[in-house]
Structure 1
């Protein structure tokens, strides 16, 4: 088990290799496990914590949306689920021509679900969708350095950037899924977002929002016919309800076993893998209020005992972090921990000209999205109360929570997780710059440093720059860093499934026993 500090000393590559050996096996379910016996052709039912906001690719930066639709759309580049290394999918190879030019050679003979050919026009269309401000894609800030996508031939594209963009392949692998241009143009974005067409292993059947998404195997899939013929992602927001559904045999798989209920599972029913996802408390200086003052933000860091939260609320399932990156991130740098010092917290609040007993803050949290998320929020409120700070905890449905963050409508603080992230840019640029949709913090000199570092092709200089930024963010108390998540999956006896380090649930990789 990934107990506290259990993987602190492991390097990125070592952990990724070891994760290949992580238990993805499963033992006898204590129910009838209807429809999932050995060799069963019945539907695979996955209990999922929240619904997709849209089924259109390249629009919503959201793990829940991305996980579901990656079964419908293919990427052109992906990561290996065990090592994290880049692997070709719809792109056969890629080349960095110079600091502002990249070329990609694409796979031939691939068909979309409607019979249309996959080609370079589809790649250009999918990237152009992100870049077109009128589409309102939340990926746009991540792709802002793209100047132009040029079709060189039916199966070759060139991507030109306005500034050096050394992490372009990272962006492609994490973000880009390929849509069928003709279909989207014919039916319109609204219908394409409800009834998607991709090149993926599964085709769309039915979407009942906040209830279920049903898919069926693409028998003509270019990588071979999927082993699982039907799949249903059933939306079950509450931890306890997902667990109950699994125990009764209603579902075959779910992520984030409640950490206070692990003992109720046979150890062989649990799949566990280290995650580079981090959980944190955002201290927003983008909304009006006392947290615009760095001393108040620093005081909150001193007033929260994250080690106690990790042990008491998460039963040690996680690894403490002190900065904005997980210890599995290739650009992780050690940062100074504030430590728990309530007296110092009170002193700083007074130095900011505020009476701690008159300080009242709002903390937004989802419920059921991250391990014990709303419980953690309530525990944080209790800790802050000890130094006199009153905290109103606002529990949100997951989609509403994200919307409030995107629109800068949260309270002073909010709970969020981020990842999986394997390099610094994917976290730092997206959470600490003014226009990024999930950012909670902006400071002009830090954003300038971020943008300069992003453009460095020299890896050593790049890591040095990100190390400096990590410490600056800690000094400015942009967050209260909490922990690196430990991913716990419940897996049915009849399902072959190995958890991935990037948290994807690609049904094509699963099969019945």
Structure 2
């Protein structure tokens, strides 16, 4: 009996030892990235980069940019072809893909996602402003289902950048079932086919995503992705130092020496396809219009009054270069022969006097409340501009609102002058010269052109450049446009800034895109 008892006890101990040797379940890997807050979470109904960053990790489009480039490659479409006249594009869709809600991706979802933005009679047209549709997709006449895995998109006229625009967030494919169930509330509960699934959005605090276990592509290397809302750049850096986050965007240039000397951090940087600018409201049909800005001499005077070199040197501190054109110098079509406005307060005063404002005038200067890739601290930059304007007799109190309200109000033309900027969605001059400076984009209430600058010559150039496939001709046209814009001076072009992202040393796999997109499916965190 004792022998039996001993054997039983020893067996129990052996089992216990084996149990103790079992590998522990892997802890979920979470990456926390600090940025500004989103405005909404419908990819077709946003214009701001903070929202787009979240969208890029939830949704897929028919095509996408290759990692780190602006070269288009297949995504939810595996192949495509176009008609000889460039008007009909046929896309062949990837089979076996499911949305995060378990419903199948197919041609019906593509038609739904695009037609809800185009067709005013579509039952979901009422749920969005669809600004980007008019800015970048207005040439689409209709989207049709050929069969379950083939769609045909017909254009009203040839559009040279079409395939590149289809890689944009506006053309991401959403779940029709989710939209049907939630109606306008789908804006805050996005369902796509991408590498991460939406979990929650606590406005002003964070957005949480989790790994999509059924993702059709390569599985993400992290289990959870949290976008922590920290609007202030220096506060982001402090959170990074404390270990509260593993990555930050747009660091304060003042913090860069400390960041670069910290052996536990890494800085990723490259030239950005962007521009930061001051827009002067020329729209007589807008609520914020003021008479001085209808006079080109006043707009040119303001260009002479602002010391851009000083702003870039002392506020951007090596993270940007002075802008003389709307297009960034790394983009094809950039016109380097344009001579920038020099800093010349006396010339500014002379022009103001000629225009009938010898003692200047009072106006307002709107400044963004959040740092952006093209402008890390808009309030500081506005303060510097305010002082330069004061020196030539222009009194411009600074006005600001929360980010979503700021965008709504500037699109409605409630400002006299406003600071804004642009990170390009596709590497084509059309994305700036048309989207930000054409009369088509100057619709009050949904303007991309917040200067409300309407020049018929610019419009004619844009129409010709969109419809020709002759690359050299397109370069020539956009060079002409930059001369006209410089002379008309609807903007003060301030700076083209570098993209700068900071991570802990144990983070790997993150790739910068020229368009400023953040995609985290290949990002990994090494064990400490």
Q: TM-score, normalised by structure 2?
A: 0.86
Question: Superposed, which structure 2 residues align to 1:100-499 within 5 Å?
Answer: 100-133=87-120, 134=126, 135-141=128-134, 142-174=136-168, 175-188=170-183, 190-267=184-261, 269-286=266-283, 287=286, 288-289=289-290, 290-334=292-336, 335-355=338-358, 357-370=359-372, 371-410=376-415, 412-420=416-424, 421-436=426-441, 437-439=447-449, 440=451, 441-496=453-508, 497-499=510-512
Offset from partner CA, 1:79-126 (integer Å, 9 cap, x none): 123232112111112222122121212211111111111112211111
2:521 is paired with a residue of what secondary structure? helix
Alignment partner, residue 505 of structure 1: 518
> Offset of 1:199 from its aligned partner?
0.3
2: CA distance, partners of 1:84 / 1:503: 11
Tell me what 1:76 maps to: 62
Distance across 1 between alignment mates of 2:50 and 2:142: 29
The separation in 2 between residues aligned to 1:121 and 1:59, in whole angstroms, is 20
Deviations 1:178-197 (A, max 9, x none): 01112212332x22112111
Residue-by-residue CA offset, 1:355-381 (whole Å, 9 max, x unaligned):
2x3411211111332312211111011
**Alpha carbons 2:423, 2:516 under 8 Å: kept:** no
Q: How do residues 77-96 of structure 1 correspond to structure 2 at under 5 angstroms?
A: 77-96=63-82
CA positional deviation for 1:45: 0.8
SS of the residue 2:364 aligns to:
strand
| 1:17 matched residue in structure 2 | none
Q: Which has the larger radius of gyration?
A: 2
- How far has the Cα of 1:510 moved from its partner? 0.6
Q: Could you say which structure has the greater relative contact order, defined with CA pairs below 8 angstroms and 6 or more residues apart?
A: 1
Do the aligned partners of 1:81 and 1:502 also contact (CA within 8 Å) in 2?
A: no
- Output one character per residue of 1:112-148: Cα deviation in whole Å (capped at 9) or x when no partner: 1111111122111111122134442112212111111
Stretch moving more, 113-122 or 265-274: 265-274
- Please list the CA deviations of residues 196-215 of structure 1 after superposition, one character each: whole Å capped at 9, or x if unmatched: 11101111111111211111
Deviation, 1:435, is 4.4
Preserved CA contact (<8 Å) 2:251 2:501: yes
Aligned-partner Cα distance in 2 for 1:140–1:469 = 23
Following the alignment from structure 2 to structure 1, what is the Cα–Cα distance between the partners of residues 67 and 300? Answer: 38
Measured against aligned partners, the alpha-carbon deviations of 1:333-358 in whole angstroms (never above 9, x if no partner) come to 22221111221111111111122x34
Structure 2: how far apart are the matches of 1:132 and 1:207? 30
Counterpart for residue 58 of structure 1: 44
The alpha-carbon deviation at position 40 of structure 1 amounts to: 6.2
Equivalents in 1 of 2:220, 2:523: separation in Å?
8
Alignment of structure 1 residues 27-38 onto 2, 5 Å: none
Is residue 507–residue 525 contact of structure 2 (8 Å, CA) maintained in 1? yes
Flag structure 2 segments of 5+ consecutive residues without an equivalent: 1-25, 121-125, 442-446
Which has the larger displacement, 83-92 or 437-446? 437-446
1:92 is paired with a residue of what secondary structure? strand
Could you tell me which runs of 5 or more consecutive residues in structure 1 were left unpaired when the two chains were aligned: 1-38
Instruction: Give yes or no for contact 2:234–2:255 (8 Å, CA) kept in 1.
Output: no
The Cα of 1:474 is off from its aligned counterpart by 0.6
Q: How many residues align?
A: 471
Deviations 1:275-302 (A, max 9, x none): 1111111122124211111110011111
Write the distance in 2 (CA, Å) between the matches of 1:185 and 1:401: 30
1:67 aligns with 2:42: no
- 1:476 is displaced (CA, Å) by 0.2
Q: 1:303 and 1:44 mapped to 2: Cα distance?
A: 45
Q: CA deviation at 1:68?
A: 0.6
Q: Contact 1:328–1:422 at 8 Å: present in 2 too? A: no
Greater displacement, 444-453 / 339-348: 444-453
